[in-house]
Amino acid sequence: MSTLTKHEPLASSTKLFNKLQGLSSSLGGFVTAIKHSRLAQLLVGLLAFQLLLSIVLAVQSSQQGNFASGEPLLSASAADISKIEISDAESAITLIRKSDKWLIDGDNQLPVQANKVENILDTITILKPGLPVASSEAARTQLKVADDDFMRRVSLSGDEMDTTTFILGTSPGLRKSHLRRADAGEIYSASLPTSDLPSDVNNWLDKGLLSFNNIVSVKSNDVRFTLTGENEDKAWSVSKPSDENRKIDTDKFEAVINALQSMRVIGVADAEPTTEADEPNEIVEVQIASDKPETKLTIEKKGDITTVKRDDIAGVFTLAATQFEQFSALAALEGFMTNEAAKIDEEADPEAKPIENSAEKSADN
């Protein structure tokens, strides 16, 4: 009994040695198999790459700075924002909110497309960039989100919030941009295209700023058309005494009225439009009364450029040439009188020269 007890440690050591020797032989065989198998080598390489990638992602995740996964870009609400500054390499624009209206900051403070501002603020305030895709200085330059090389730089501010500035760069996909906060190094893929944040005036301008509402009177060259009556009894009449017996071509005239009430400009006109020096100007001036006091509207055509302005709104704006052709008829309101009415005047006074219809006159010329 004592003999067995004495030799037990030696037997255990022998068994352990034999197991290690077997394991070594197995590993040796495994290594030998790997050396002779391209598939095994590929699988080992893939495993090593996955392990390295896991380590890199873990390090980046620990260095996210101001953004954690699911954290919004902006902590403020859309109602807190009263100033938006947008710039690129060539231009810059500032939008400000005054009395719940968005305006383009500047001397004229022109109105902005309200729905466009609301839509972009709604997008920004719920935007959650998620995990970063890069953070190196080289990546900032490559993805166009560097401090001195970017596609857009946007700053949002307000009385009740700190200024938040972010930079947009290249697009990683449809309606996406690479995004970096100006105070952080991490770069994200965000659902915020640069096209939604233009830096020029005309892309933000309310193109309907010169249109009229409820026109009730139009005056040109001492001839005035006035809308009288109510509801179904409304009708246009001529205020000039000599035109009492003439009838207005209502359909033709109201087509121009509707065009005035839906008028949309192309954009802000250049200070000095480029035209040929000897090209004559065609000018139409008309006084219009609507839901606002009587306003002077001036439409001018020189060469291929048509401009328009109202004396109650600052600035000069470009207009489509086709609209000039339509509004030019306002220079001679008599052109909206029907030929039948002119014949009545001719019968009453045979020596009187009938007024020609402007459309027929243009056709003859």
Residue spans of the domains in the chain: they are: 78-203, 217-364
* pLDDT, mean over the chain: 81
Q: Which long-range contacts (CB under 8 A, 24 or more apart) does 71-75 make?
A: 71/128, 71/129, 72/125, 72/126, 72/127, 72/128, 73/124, 73/127, 73/128, 73/129, 73/164, 73/166, 73/179, 73/181, 73/190, 74/124, 74/125, 74/127, 74/156, 74/164, 75/161
28 band by pLDDT with thresholds 50, 70 and 90: low
Query: For residue 274, what pLDDT is reported?
Result: 54
pLDDT tens readout for residues 135-182 = 999 999 999 999 999 999 999 999 999 999 999 999 999 999 999 999
Query: Pick from 125, 121, 77: which is nearest to 102 by CA?
Result: 121
DSSP-derived secondary structure for 324-354:
HHHHGGGG-GGGGB-HHHHHHHHHH-TTSPP
pLDDT digits (tens, 9 = 90+) for 80-111: 999 999 999 999 999 999 998 999 999 999 99
Kindly indicate the confidence band of residue 275, based on its pLDDT and cuts at 50, 70 and 90. low
Two structure tokens written together for 338: 């029907």
**Coil/strand/helix, residue 319:** coil
Nearest to 212 by CA among 283, 296, 269: 296
How remote is the C-alpha of 189 from its chain's centroid? Answer: 20
Confidence of residue 325 (pLDDT cuts 50, 70, 90): confident
Least-confidence region, from 119-123, 152-156, 174-178, 219-223: 219-223
DSSP assignment of 122-151, as one string?
Answer: HHHHT----S-SB-SHHHHHHTTEETTEES
* Residue reference for tokens 């009364």: 289
CA 308, 214, 323, 276: dihedral to nearest 10 degrees?
Answer: -10
149 vs 166: CA distance, rounded Å: 13
Cβ–Cβ < 8 Å for 205, 110: yes
Is residue 263 within 8 A of residue 213, CB to CB? The reply is: no
pTM of the complete model: 0.72
Which range (213-222, 228-237, 283-292, 312-321) has the least confidence? 228-237
Which helix (DSSP H) or strand (DSSP E) does residue 27 occupy? Answer: helix 2-35
Written as one string, the DSSP assignment of 91-108 is -EEEEEEETTEEEE-SSS
What is residue 73's DSSP assignment? S
81 DSSP β-pair partners: none
User: Quick check: 93 and 86 in contact, CB under 8 A?
Assistant: yes
Residue 5 has pLDDT above 60, yes or no: no
Single out the residue of 205, 236, 2 nearest to residue 108, CA to CA.
205
Q: Is the pLDDT of residue 361 over 50?
A: no
> How far apart (Å, rounded) are the C-alpha atoms in residues 27 and 11?
25
Q: Does the pLDDT at position 131 exceed 70?
A: yes
pLDDT digits (tens, 9 = 90+) for 186-196: 999 999 999 99
Percent of the chain with pLDDT over 70: 71
Name the band, by pLDDT with cuts 50, 70 and 90, for residue 233: confident
**Could you tell me if 337 and 245 are in contact, meaning their C-beta atoms sit under 8 angstroms apart?**
no
